[in-house]
Amino acid sequence: MVFIITFFILFLDQLTKSFATKNLSLNQSLPLIKGIFHLTLTHNRGAAFGIFRNQTQLFIFTSIFAIVFILGIFKKNKYRRYSIYSISLALILAGALGNLIDRLTLGYVIDFLDFRIWPVFNIADSAITVGAILLGYSILKSGRTK
């Protein structure tokens, strides 16, 4: 189940990035809900919100480390198959893989989801964020039950 989630999110991330790249020019914005939600193609050479611009090697190393670390947890079976903990790691893994593919093949990450009040992002970023929130919840919950 964990790997199905990972591959589904990774596939969706790469598919939507391909769609955005084929249908939008760089920095072109297409309003879907005017003033609220647009598709805006950007190339992010930094981390979240564009911080640490042009540190591609650092992001590649960090992504590979996170991917190997998560795969190590899965290999050691230190999780319950359908737990919030395992799902959170699957989401983080998918997001890290999605953005790593971009960095390795393009030298930047393709972002296109634009809510106007937040920096432009992608499916991989969303998976990492949701995964991190679920991971935090899982860790806090497990601490309370012991």
Q: How many domains does one find in the chain? A: 1
Residue 125 lies in a domain: yes
- Closest Cα to residue 93, out of 122, 128, 121? 128
**pTM for the complete prediction?**
0.89
Helix segments in the chain, DSSP class H: 2-23, 56-75, 84-106, 123-145
Confidence bin at 19 (pLDDT 50/70/90): very high
Residue 6 lies in a domain: yes
Residue range 79-126, pLDDT digits in tens: 566 789 999 999 999 999 999 999 999 999 999 999 999 999 999 999
SS3 state at 114: strand
Arithmetic mean of pLDDT, 6-27: 97
Residue 101 lies in a domain: yes
Residue 146 lies in a domain: no
Catalytic residues: 111, 125
Q: Tell me the residue range of the domain where 128 lies.
A: 2-15+22-44+53-141
The side-by-side arrangement of strands in the sheet containing 37-44 is 29-33, 37-44, 109-114
Residue 26 lies in a domain: yes
Beta bridge partners, 111, equal: 42
Residue 8 lies in a domain: yes
Residue 120 lies in a domain: yes
Give me the pLDDT at residue 39, please.
97
Residue range 33-77, pLDDT digits in tens: 999 999 999 999 877 656 666 677 888 999 999 999 999 988 887
